[in-house]
Structure 1
Amino acid sequence: MNKYLMREKVIKEIELIPLEKLNEVYNFVHFLRIGLEENKVNKEKILSFAGCWNDMSDEMFDDFMEDIGQRRREAFLGRRNETSIG
């Protein structure tokens, strides 16, 4: 179905909604639109990091990944110990 026909169908459905429900419809549509815009911005931010490690040697990258893994293990171990019932 083409986008113009779909838009018309949505508009016709909205016109049939009771006035007291329009605020809910507006909030839902607004949420969808804003969510899509924010998702696009987040995707662009994430993609800006693509290839940032290309100039790193394999050895340096392996060391970096090991360091990250170690930091995560320590961080999660600390959280697990803090939430333990003891």
Structure 2
Amino acid sequence: MNPSEWKIKLWEEVQQIPDAKLAQLYDLIHKFWLSAEPSSSDTTNIMQFAGCWSDMSDEAYSEFVDEIGIRRQQAFYEAYKINYSQL
């Protein structure tokens, strides 16, 4: 189906919607468009965060990675104990 056919089909469907539901339909369409558009501020924030460790020394980075590994092991071990103790 080409875009013109889709628009006609959508218009026919919209014509069938009761007036009391039009506001809900508008909100749905509006939210759809908001979620479909990439936000430039999101990209900017992500890229700023991505470089936040660029000035970290090798020693500090190594300690950080080791600490993350330990915390993950502890978290997964606790989750494992909780899940399997209920069996």
Q: TM-score, normalised by structure 1?
A: 0.60
- Cα separation, partners in 2 of 1:36 and 1:56, compared to 1, 3 Å: same
Give 2:48's aligned residue: 48
| 1:14 maps to 2:29 | no
Q: Deviations over 1:13-58 (max 9, x none)?
A: 4322242287575455333223235x62544432221211111112
**Counterpart secondary structure, 1:48:** helix
Q: Number of residues paired by the alignment?
A: 78
Bigger relative CO (Cα 8 Å, ≥ 6 apart): 1
- Cα separation, partners in 2 of 1:25 and 1:13, compared to 1, 3 Å: farther
- Cα separation, partners in 2 of 1:78 and 1:69, compared to 1, 3 Å: same
Q: TM-score, normalised by structure 2?
A: 0.60
Unaligned runs of 5+ in 1: 1-5
Which deviates further from its counterpart, 10-19 or 60-69? 10-19
In 2, Cα distance between the equivalents of 1:27 and 1:62? 49
Q: In the TM superposition, what are the counterparts of 1:39-78 in structure 2 within 5 Å? A: 40=39, 41-78=41-78
The percent identity for this pair of structures is 27
Give 1:36's aligned residue: 36
How big is the alpha-carbon RMSD for the aligned residues of Structure 1 and Structure 2? 3.0
In 2, Cα distance between the equivalents of 1:12 and 1:25? 17
